[in-house]
Chains A and B, each alone.
Chain A
Amino acid sequence: MSHEPEKRDGAPSETELSHALPVEPVDASLRMRVQRAARAAYEREERVSFVWTDALVPGTLLLTGAFYLAGALQKLAEIFG
């Protein structure tokens, strides 16, 4: 049987845990580099969604117009051809 000392009351408090895991603030170069990269990604996605929305409406109108124009030309061809 062991006679070595045993410790059973070692429950750490919340404050102790915070102190045991100290945090240095993020360094300025990393903070700025990440902000620049993430902002660029955010704005790129913004542009992509803008271009998509912007292209969708006129594109649809153009296709619809082309479809009706082709139909009309076909009718004219039937009448005069």
Chain B
Amino acid sequence: MDEAETHDAEREDELRLVRALRARERGAFDRMYQQHHDRIWAFLLRLTGRRDEAADLFQETWLAAARHAESLEASSRLLPWLYTIARNKHRNARRFLLFDLRKRELSALEPEPERMGLDDEVEARERAAALQRAFYELPDASREVLLLVTIDGMSSADAAVVLGLKEDAVRKRLSRARAELTDAMTRLENKKMRSQARGAARRTS
């Protein structure tokens, strides 16, 4: 079976499952949950950066999916539908979680400017920590599009469904998000280099 046939067969399975969910057939919900719960969890955990918040949103997302299964269109794609619910739950929660957001930012990993003479592994770890910190400095809209398209590998057509945008707008938002991430990384790395330069100057004086 070639790739196109596999894709068609998968789509046919998905459409069967959508029909079953719309008709509220027993067992259909469990099949959807088994297929997609891990990706929804990963999306929410990365989006929030917090396990407790992700757990609450994960539960709310699946309860909403269970209650509104009949609202699926016959031709719906399940994963974008679930991502849309998860994203909406996150956006609703964020309106009331400004205090928690500050806590998350304070607990984000800090770059370690005092460590000199780093080997590759330590340098890679520090860069990952800086990248994580830069990611959580981005606005929600930028984090969402980076997670959906860059990390989850979603097509811009599916991402457009999730984000409620046109495909062109998704591509523009993605391009802007990548630029923002690069800028944030550059700011953090420059800050670290300045700190290292000051440390070196203090040692030589």
Contacts and interface: CB of A to CB of B under 8 A. Distances in A.
A binds B: yes
Interface of A: 4-8, 10-12, 14, 16-21, 23-26, 30-31, 33-35, 37-39, 41-43, 45-46, 49
Given A43-B26, A46-B26, A49-B24, A8 B66 contact: no
Interface string B120-131: 000000011101
Contacts, number: 106
A23 B58 contact: no
- Specify the main secondary structure of chain B where it touches its partner: helix
Contact of A30 (B55, B178, B182): B55
Contact of A42 (B55, B69, B132, B185): B69
11 contacts: A5-B194, A8-B186, A16-B128, A30-B59, A35-B30, A38-B65, A41-B66, A42-B24, A42-B29, A42-B66, A46-B26
A7 B190 contact: yes
A13 to B, nearest CB: 10
A41 B194 CA distance: 55
Contacts of A11: 178, 182, 185
B189 A46 contact: no
A14 B127 contact: no
B38 A7 contact: no
A18 B30 CA distance: 28
